[in-house]
Amino acid sequence: MGMPGVLRLYFGESNLPTPDYLKRALDRAVRDGYTFYTENAGLPSLRGAIADYYLRKQGVALDPGSEIVVTASGVQAIALSIRAVLDPGDEAIVLTPAWPNASAIVELSNARSIEIAQPLHGEVYTIDFDAVERAITPRTRLLVYTSPSNPLGWVATRRQQETLLELSRRHGLWLMADEVYDRLYYEGAELGDPVPSILQMATREDAVLVVHSFSKSYCMTGWRLGWMIARQDLARKCGQMNEFMVSCAAGFVQKAAETALTEGEAELKTMLTTLRENRDFCAAKLRAMPGLTVPDAAGAFYLFPRVEGLRDSFGFCKRLLENTRVGIAPGMAFGAGGEGSVRICYASGREVLEPAMERLGNWLSIEPHDGPLMEQTRIVSDDHNAGVEAAVFQDQADIARGGR
């Protein structure tokens, strides 16, 4: 983080500042007096705006009074959901590679996270439903997936979502869908169409939870605002539990965010046009580099190329950083199935992406990533066992934080 001159592609956020229309809305909200506590489940007017938004964008009717809880970020929606459905000793199945927070929050709740890697077939990530079924035990309570995926860029098909739902129903599991990137989708009928939510396929009686955020679609990462949608009994409980976590998200932030839902489409489409161009540019450059497989990435703002022969993505990224000043995130930070790949965030300017792709290409042609250097790094880790493991774990935690 402190190294000068780094081309930073390891972040998990756009380089764009919050748009002006939202800054003005925030200023208005403060001056209009939204400086007090709000309801634990969020301002009724914001919940109403979220319900209207789902009807408009997803064709899903929600009751704002009983099925929506506003949270102080997407990660807080994840924490609230997990704490609500898991008891100590329970198990959660998490599809990975994934942003590590859901697994970490499961463990923090004294439950066990069972990571099931999504296999890569050719250039397409899929779901190993047999492996998911095999991992289910009498203690399994929750199944978590992320679509569009951080770090894969993968988007679940309708069929895959229906199968996850059917499997969860059959085994009596809660199904948690992390849909924070649903608006960053490049393969819809029209740019700006969201990825269809699991809520389109589920009934309101299903044990389904959706977590969402204002961070990614509206460049509001620092505002800390999200929401969750759940069956009424769970949503009520989560609203109550919010009292003991943050009581409520900041009132003026909530009020201003209503404007994002009602007036944000034009800015969003402009951003999507740039992101799609960036994705296409980076994917084309990466596909031309030797030894890389670049999986299809229909959503979010990440590419997750697999590097042939790579067994130490952490060492690879560290050497890339030190030698070329290009910062990317090692696949090992994203759990089972992540090792051997690297994550590139393309939500940046061309002045960063172009030299970064050039330097990465040059580095790949000289770095013996499947040769002795990699082997050496791995052996060093083994030799120093606990101490090095702890350091690597610390690094991994830092990466997870820095790599949001």
* Helix ranges (DSSP H) in 100-250: 101-108, 129-135, 158-171, 232-245
- Region binding ligand PLP by CB under 6 A among candidate stretches 22-30, 127-135, 213-221, 314-322: 213-221
Q: Which is nearer to ligand PLP, 182 or 267 (CB)?
A: 182
Footprint of ligand PLP on residues 74-93 (CB under 6 A)?
74-75
- Region binding ligand PLP by CB under 6 A among candidate stretches 37-45, 71-79, 290-298, 361-369: 71-79
226 binds ligand PLP (CB under 6 A): yes
Q: How far is the CB of 179 from ligand PLP (least distance, A)?
A: 9
Q: How far is the CB of 204 from ligand PLP (least distance, A)?
A: 23
Q: Which is nearer to ligand PLP, 152 or 364 (CB)?
A: 152
CA angle 383, 329, 128 (to 5 degrees): 90
Footprint of ligand PLP on residues 130-189 (CB under 6 A)?
146, 150, 178, 180
* Helix ranges (DSSP H) in 59-191: 74-85, 101-108, 129-135, 158-171
Q: Which is nearer to ligand PLP, 73 or 278 (CB)?
A: 73
Q: How far is the CB of 394 from ligand PLP (least distance, A)?
A: 20
Kindly write out the interface string for residues 89-128 of this chain, putting x where it contacts ligand PLP by CB under 6 A and - elsewhere. ----------x-----------------------------
* Nearest Cα residue to 186 out of 281, 263, 115, 262: 281
Q: Would you say 358 and 288 are in contact if contact means Cβ atoms under 8 Å apart?
A: no
Place of tokens 């809880």: 69
Q: How far is the CB of 13 from ligand PLP (least distance, A)?
A: 7
Residue with smallest beta-carbon separation from ligand PLP: 74
404 binds ligand PLP (CB under 6 A): yes
Write the DSSP string, 275-305. Answer: HHHHHHHHHHHHHTSTTEE-----BTTEE-P
Please list the residues that pair with 145 across neighbouring strands.
Answer: 177
Reading the block at residue 260, the tokens are 């994002």
Q: Would you say 153 and 295 are in contact if contact means Cβ atoms under 8 Å apart?
A: yes
- Whether residue 100 has a cis bond before it, omega within 30° of 0: no
For 101, 170, 213, the CA distances from 335, given in Å and listed in that order, are 10, 27, 22
Footprint of ligand PLP on residues 3-42 (CB under 6 A)?
12
221 binds ligand PLP (CB under 6 A): yes
Binding site for ligand PLP (CB under 6 A): 12, 73-75, 99, 146, 150, 178, 180, 213, 215, 221, 226, 404
